[in-house]
């Protein structure tokens, strides 16, 4: 497995080193067990180390890994009206919340998976701001920086509706406004 440092120099990493790095899981905060977030390629390598695996957005045919407790919900990862349906968000939460250790993934590991992991954490009684901080902190590295944490806003809106909350989307907007990479991507 090849990785690159900040200067563009190629580093060699064994498959086992890479796999161990992918298995780093968020630590429980106030007894909330946070889901692990990865992209599709990473999830394929480590899915059998988790009791429950959830695909949030990818195509089902890309995710046939033989895991006994693995479900995939396919949706476009975009702004409203794209994104998951209200029923899909409800089903994903009902599948993921009761599980002991959950791996959540989407194609890039930045949007559908981050939103679902955040939603599961909140349903498990984590404070939304604290859960957001923890999940951002444990995002994998890509090169010399953390992977972007840009939750799917449609999923967050549906989660707010299902939980009768109004604050999570506002917290998401605050996060979005603070992150220079997200602002750059949004053209602001």
The predicted pLDDT at position 6 comes to: 45
User: Which among 47, 53, 67, 140 has a CA at the least distance from the CA of 99?
Assistant: 53
Tens of pLDDT along the chain (188 residues) come to 444 444 445 556 665 665 565 555 555 544 568 899 999 999 999 999 999 999 998 888 889 999 999 999 999 877 667 789 999 999 999 999 999 899 999 999 999 999 999 999 999 989 999 999 999 999 998 888 889 898 998 999 999 999 888 899 899 889 888 877 776 766 65
In the chain, count H helices and then E strands.
8, 8
Among 101, 110, 113, CA closest to 73: 113
Q: What pLDDT was estimated at residue 188? A: 54
pTM summary value: 0.81
DSSP secondary structure letters along 153-182: HHHHHHHHHHTT-SHHHHHHHHHHHH-HHH
Longest dimension (CA), the chain: 49
User: What integer pLDDT is reported at residue 180 of this predicted model?
Assistant: 76
pLDDT of amino acid 59: 84
pLDDT of residue 20: 63
> What distance in Å separates the CA atoms of residue 161 and residue 157, rounded to the nearest whole number?
6
pLDDT of residue 4: 43
The token pair at 123 is: 């349903």
């Amino acid at each position: 497995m090849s990785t690159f440092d900040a200067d563009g120099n190629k580093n060699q990493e064994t498959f086992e080193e890479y796999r161990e790095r992918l298995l780093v899981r968020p630590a429980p905060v106030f007894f909330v067990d946070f889901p692990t977030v990865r992209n599709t390629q990473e999830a394929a390598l480590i899915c059998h180390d988790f009791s429950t695996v959830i695909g949030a957005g990818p195509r089902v045919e890309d995710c046939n890994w033989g895991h006994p407790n693995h479900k995939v919900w396919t949706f476009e990862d975009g702004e409203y009206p794209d994104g998951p349906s209200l029923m899909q968000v409800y089903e994903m939460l009902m599948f993921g919340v009761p599980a002991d250790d959950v791996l959540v993934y989407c194609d890039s590991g930045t949007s559908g998976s981050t939103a679902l992991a955040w939603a599961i954490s909140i349903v498990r009684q984590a404070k939304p701001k604290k859960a957001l901080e923890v999940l951002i902190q444990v995002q994998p590295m890509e090169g010399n920086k953390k992977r972007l944490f840009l939750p799917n806003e449609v999923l967050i809106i549906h989660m707010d509706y299902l939980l009768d909350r109004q604050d999570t989307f506002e917290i998401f907007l605050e996060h979005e406004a603070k992150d220079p990479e997200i602002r750059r991507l949004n053209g602001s």
